[in-house]
């Protein structure tokens, strides 16, 4: 080989080396200048990670301090797939210890495009600790809490539930979410090259949620639920609702719905069972609504309790003929007897004397057609037709509780106003939050003390010798009213087989402490409020009167001939 040829080859090889060096230099410059930021962020993410630290959710207590909703310790397990060495093996290990399905987990751990995946949210702390001791590469852990309802089915529809992120999704958990949830914190987790945590730096401390104390009494609530369950079973009913209310303060001591369910299974429960019917559902009240008509005519001085009317069995109102529930001849009845015997013809006769605009005014004054303002989400205002849309027959429907829809809490509040000497008090479920003072509910007068006393006296007659005799409570005076209302069928006509039976009572009637509402939806075998709902009222009232304050002194001791069966929660 000539020297000239050798020199040419050396120069060519040198040129190749120079070109390779130039390419390497340009690549290094591009990585260090152009891609430096993104690679820096990638390196940082592999060495440290910002994690949100959830705040502890506040506890919900009943009025005596019994826990109704609490947070229990849990551990959330997560992983960084980019640091997982053997996705299949690590998924198998984690699944065995945490009792998970391995297939889905192995897929998640093998996805290197992701820097964070949940292995299990809110895992059992003991199992998570056992897994942590395995020191699997790429796995991380942080404490979290899981919402738990220690009383199971107690007030399930009222409490609602909080989801996996500890945010309220229904019921009081939803309406009180801002108070209960608190504020989450943040912390930076520093890891070594193998992905193991070597330090935790807090950047923002979490602030735990505040506790909430309700007006509910867990013993009164539990007893009401037991009675409702028995009532639904006895009458093969679709559902039943009960409210126990303190008329002096507006405090709801019990708000029960049957069927009920375990609150810890809330997300899996049929939506039909989840509703708190006492607040969200409406129904035609039937004869319990006659209270409004009677209070109106007395307040407007149209009649007195002893004013008498000659009443036929039926009455024509525009194009309708309305009759009393039980066949009878023409009779003379006083206003008090009209209420005690629940005469439809009598109630319509009183309403016609009151006239539509005044009756509509009293309906509004008692709070129907608008929300009570109870501290529970989704309250319905009911359905009240404006007086300018009334037809000629409306004055025959509305006074007897037809053509108008109300909620159970509206009806209970109306009767509570009579029990509270004419003063309406906003019903409420929250007594106080944290260390704050108890809630002072809004109140206003709707009828005078005198009219309230007159109506209360007439309501006593309903139980003494009227339609509500089965609501009697041994040892106590009871004032109340029965209601039986046909439901509307899909074709817009009143059903001949579907009814709502109800009773609303006040005890002790001489010095009221409780207003108790019971409504039973679609009972079978009997439809009358005095037969279906009144006995349930009596059971609830007997227990509550013996339980409250160690026992409320009887105001009719001469009738004390039996003792209520104690309830053991």
Q: What is the pLDDT of residues 41-56, one digit of tens each?
A: 545 455 566 666 677 8
Is the pLDDT reported for residue 432 higher than 80?
Answer: yes
Give the model's pLDDT for residue 563: 47
Q: What is the pLDDT of residues 178-209, one digit of tens each?
A: 999 888 776 666 665 555 555 556 566 778 89
* pLDDT above 70 for 280: yes
Query: 69 in helix, strand or coil?
Result: strand
DSSP 176: T
> Is the peptide bond prior to 508 cis by the omega test (within 30 degrees of 0)?
yes
Q: How confident is the model at residue 102, as a pLDDT?
A: 64
**How deeply is 400 buried, as exposed, middle or buried, from its count of CB atoms within 10 A (0-12, 13-18, 19+)?**
buried
**Tokens in use for 546?**
């013996």
**Where are the chain's structural domains?**
51-71+145-212, 218-559
The CATH class that applies to domain 218-559 reads alpha beta
Express as a percent the part of the chain with pLDDT over 70. Answer: 85
- What is the CATH code for 51-71+145-212? 3.90.1310.10
Phi and psi, residue 334, nearest 5°: -80, 170
What pTM was estimated for this model as a whole?
A: 0.84
Q: Which residue has the higher pLDDT, 319 or 216?
A: 216
Per-residue pLDDT, averaged over 453-468, amounts to: 94
* CA-based end-to-end distance of the chain: 108
**Residue in 287, 299, 413, 538 annotated catalytic:** 287
pLDDT for the residue 166: 85
Query: Predicted confidence band at 566 (pLDDT cuts at 50, 70, 90)?
Result: very low
Backbone phi, psi, residue 83, to 5°: -105, -5
Tokens of 449: 């003390």
Burial 38-55 (b: 16+ CB within 10 A, else e): eeeeeeeebeebebebbb
Q: How confident is the model at residue 561 (pLDDT cuts 50, 70, 90)?
A: low
For residues 502-522, give the mean pLDDT: 97
Q: How confident is the model at residue 37 (pLDDT cuts 50, 70, 90)?
A: low
> Is a pLDDT exceeding 60 seen at residue 360?
yes
Q: Which of 16-25, 296-305, 551-560 has the lowest mean pLDDT?
A: 16-25
Does residue 568 carry a catalytic annotation? no
User: Mean of the pLDDT values across residues 170-181?
Assistant: 94
In the structure encoding, which two tokens stand for residue 341, read together? Answer: 């015997």
Encoding tokens for residue 245?
Answer: 């209310």
Mean predicted lDDT score pLDDT of the chain: 88
The alpha carbon torsion through 394, 398, 402, 406 (nearest 10 deg) reads 130
Cα gap 253→218, rounded to integer Å: 8
- Picking from 547, 540, 551, the residue whose alpha carbon sits closest to that of residue 231 is 540
Is pLDDT at 569 greater than 50 in this prediction?
A: no
């Amino acid at each position: 080989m000539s020297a000239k040829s050798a020199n040419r080859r050396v120069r060519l090889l040198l040129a190749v080396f120079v070109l390779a060096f130039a390419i390497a230099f340009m690549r290094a410059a591009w990585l260090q200048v152009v891609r430096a930021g993104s690679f820096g962020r990638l390196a940082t993410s592999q060495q440290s990670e910002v994690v949100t630290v959830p705040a502890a959710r506040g506890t919900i207590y009943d009025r005596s301090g019994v826990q109704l909703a609490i947070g229990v310790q849990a551990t959330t397990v997560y992983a960084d797939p980019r640091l997982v060495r053997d996705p299949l093996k690590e998924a198998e290990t984690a699944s065995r210890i945490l009792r998970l399905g391995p297939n889905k987990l192995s897929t998640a751990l093998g996805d290197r495009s992701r820097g964070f995946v949940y292995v299990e949210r809110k895992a059992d702390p003991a199992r998570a600790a056992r897994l942590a001791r395995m020191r699997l590469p790429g796995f991380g852990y942080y404490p979290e809490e899981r919402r738990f309802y220690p009383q199971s089915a107690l007030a399930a529809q009222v409490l609602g539930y909080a989801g996996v992120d500890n945010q309220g999704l229904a019921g009081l958990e939803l309406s009180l979410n801002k108070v209960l949830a608190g504020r989450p914190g943040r912390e930076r987790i520093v890891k070594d090259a193998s992905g193991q945590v070597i330090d935790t730096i807090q950047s923002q401390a979490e602030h735990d949620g505040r506790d909430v104390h309700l007006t509910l009494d867990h013993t009164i609530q539990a007893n009401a639920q037991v009675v409702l369950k028995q009532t639904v079973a006895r009458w093969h009913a679709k559902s039943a609702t009960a409210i126990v209310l303190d008329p002096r303060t507006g405090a709801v001591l019990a708000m029960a719905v049957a069927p009920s369910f375990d609150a810890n299974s809330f997300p899996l429960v049929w939506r039909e069972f989840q509703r708190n019917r006492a607040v969200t559902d409406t129904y035609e009240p039937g004869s319990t609504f006659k209270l409004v008509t009677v209070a109106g005519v007395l307040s407007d001085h149209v009649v007195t309790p002893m004013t008498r009317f000659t009443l036929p069995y039926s009455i024509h109102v525009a194009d309708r003929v309305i009759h009393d529930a039980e066949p009878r001849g023409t009779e003379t009845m006083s206003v008090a007897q009209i209420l005690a015997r629940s005469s439809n013809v009598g109630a319509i006769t009183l309403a016609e004397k009151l006239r539509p605009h005044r009756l509509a005014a009293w309906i509004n004054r008692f709070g129907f057609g608008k929300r009570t303002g109870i501290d529970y989400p989704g309250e319905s205002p009911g359905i009240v037709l404006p007086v300018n849309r009334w037809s000629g027959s409306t004055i025959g429907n509305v006074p007897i509780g037809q053509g108008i829809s109300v909620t159970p809490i509206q009806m209970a509040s109306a009767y509570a106003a009579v029990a509270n000497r004419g003063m309406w008090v906003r019903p409420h479920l929250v007594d106080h939050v944290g260390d704050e003072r108890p809630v002072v509910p809004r109140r206003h007068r709707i009828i005078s003390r005198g009219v309230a006393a007159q109506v209360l006296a007439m309501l006593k007659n309903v139980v003494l010798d009227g339609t509500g005799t089965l609501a009697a409570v041994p040892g106590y005076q009871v004032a109340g009213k029965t209601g039986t209302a046909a439901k509307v069928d899909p074709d817009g006509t009143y059903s001949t087989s579907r009814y709502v039976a109800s009773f609303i009572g006040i005890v002790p009637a001489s010095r009221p402490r409780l207003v108790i509402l019971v409504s039973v939806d679609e009972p079978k075998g009997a439809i009358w409020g005095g037969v279906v709902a009144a006995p349930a009222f009596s059971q609830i009232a007997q227990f509550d009167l013996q339980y409250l304050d160690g026992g409320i002194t009887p105001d009719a001791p001469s009738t004390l001939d039996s003792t209520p069966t104690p309830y053991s929660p």
